[in-house]
Amino acid sequence: MIQHLDVDGVPTLLAPTGGPMRAGLTFRVGTADETLGRAGITHLLEHLALAPLGLADYHVNGATAQAFTTFHTTGSETDIAAFLTAVCGHLRELPVARLDIEKDILRTEWSSRGAAAVDDIPLWRHGARDYGLTSYPEWGLNALTADDLRAWSARWFTRENAVLWIAGDRVPAGLRLPLPAGTRQAVPVASSALPRTPAYFVSGSRAVVLDSVVRRRTAAGVFAAVLERELYRSLRQDAGLSYTTTTGYDPRGDGYATLRALADALPEKQDAVLGGFIDVLAKMRVGRIEQADLDATIAKREDFLGIAEVDAARLPSYALNVLTGEPNLSIDEHRAELKAVDLADLHEVAGEVMASALLMVPGGLTADWAGFVAAPTHSADVVQGTTYASRGGNGGLRIGVDGVSLLRADSPLTVRYADCSAMLVWPDGARQLIGSDAIALHIEPTLFNLHPAALPVIDAQVPADRQIAMPARTPESIPQPQAAERQPGQSADRSWWEVPVMALSGVATLLVGGFNLLLTLAMFTTETEPGDEWLWGVVAVLWLLAVILALPIVLVWRRRRR
């Protein structure tokens, strides 16, 4: 049984355990509460709170997720009391002397992080805001000051916005949580960058991934497990197409949950895996779900609910529910809800999954044939303003009073200042505006005939707290018009044929022109016989031919001038 207590004004959960004592302090704040211009502030605070502890003789760690930040430890009562008391002290009095050191550590952590198949999904679904920010680097680190961190800590890391959980038989003696007073913070409202669903986008990953949003309920969690069994049986066991087939079910704290599924593939099997994956979804969507899979899933969950450590095991998730106001069920209530789930419930969840689905497909493939629409990769409109031509001759850049548009054939990119999540600023003048819908518009001054006042207009319209200073680039890394014009796979020397064409045109023009000149002179110096007037027509035709033969010289010369 989980007991509800209070330690220094912080709601506290206590459950018995037969193993070592462990504890965690969870706050209702995460990356989804940040902005792109200040991304990384919560993670940096987590590091600062832990940094003075140094190398501990027992397990300690911290984790920053989308909506929660947790400090957790395993050890003796004395160790746990010392750790949590110190963390709260550091959150209240930040060790800002380590600010630059911890920033460097976080940059190193990001640069060494391997790319995961699901990394890009948040920005495709949510854009460059709230739950989509986990897809982006922590660009806000450079500009963050000690005052920024103090203000963030005072708002979010308070006793009213925290829950302490302890797996043990008592609260450790000497534990103090010296946190400031505050208010409980609601979870962020999830945004959407998808005009329509089900949708898909193309990724460089070798996996097929499904991302969906469903109502939080027991049947949805069971469905995730049943879907995993079906994917394993279909794609690995029967067809031998995938090695990893997995699903996940993650409540958001707002009455909904994210449900994901993944199946990996060899490059030559990606098409087959995508087809098999969609077949499984379609099968479950029409209600073809095996009773045996449902029974096996419920039995497995009932086994977990029967273990002696069940209350201690569910303390972390129980704490999240306390923070968000979501209901916490007793063990008996869990069992009752599990037994009530039937195939009709799973069929209903399958409909929710498909209605909200976002599918990530490997490069070179599509999913429109299965009823999925392509997620937007360009903007639906352009701004009104001054257009600056591209020095490469393709498209242009339009700067208006309310935004910027990059003009491209059938695929313009537009970011309006009011919807600009962040603007990356390079010392050489380059700019990248990122809209809240995740549309990214890159401006290279070397590639456009920009007026000197054009960039200052953009800078003045984007708020300072959304402008992110980027490090200087080497001259070699700054694109030039010639490099911008070149197409992938195209030779740098595209005019090898121009000189031969000009030479042949010149020779032909001289031959025809010379012969026609001689003929013309002969017509003027020789008395013509009656009936020879047709010769003047020949002269006219030959002069016209000479002009036509000379035309390639003019066209190629103009091309080379451009």
**pTM (2 decimals)?**
0.83
User: Using CA atoms, how far apart are residues 114 and 116, in angstroms rounded to an integer?
Assistant: 6
CATH topology of 3-117+127-167 equal to that of 385-472?
no
The pLDDT value recorded for residue 204 is: 86
- For 22, the enclosing helix (H) or strand (E) is strand 22-27
The CATH architecture annotation of domain 199-374 reads 2-Layer Sandwich (3.30)
Q: Which CATH class is domain 3-117+127-167?
A: alpha beta
Look at residue 430 in the predicted model and tell me its pLDDT: 96
Tokens representing 177 are 């949580």
The pLDDT of residue 178 is 95
Contacts of 408 (CB under 8 A, 6+ apart): 378, 394, 395
Residue with tokens 């695929």: 411
Q: What is the pLDDT of residue 483?
A: 45
The secondary structure of residue 234, as a DSSP letter, is: I
Q: Quick one: how far is CA 16 from the chain centroid?
A: 41
Token duo for residue 82: 């010392």
CATH class of 385-472: mainly beta
DSSP state of 156: H
**What pLDDT does residue 490 have?**
43
Distances (CA, A) of 402 to 102, 386, 420, 429: 38, 12, 11, 20
The predicted pLDDT at position 487 comes to 45
pLDDT at 484: 40
Residue ranges in the chain modelled with pLDDT below 50: 483-494, 562
Please answer whether residues 523 and 539 qualify as being in contact, where contact means their C-beta atoms are separated by less than 8 angstroms: yes
Residue 410: its pLDDT value, please?
82
Measured CA to CA, the distance from residue 193 to residue 376 in angstroms comes to 8
User: In which residue are the tokens 């450590």 written?
Assistant: 309
Query: How is the chain split into domains, by residue range?
Result: 3-117+127-167, 199-374, 385-472, 498-561
Using an 8 Å Cβ cutoff, are 441 and 432 in contact? Answer: yes
- The 10s digit of each residue's pLDDT in 9-55 is 999 999 999 989 999 999 999 999 999 999 999 999 999 999 998 76
DSSP letters along 164-203, please?
EEEESSSPPTT----PPP--PPPPPPP----SSSSEEEEE
- Reported as half-sphere exposure (CB side, CA atoms, 13 A), residue 427 has a value of 6
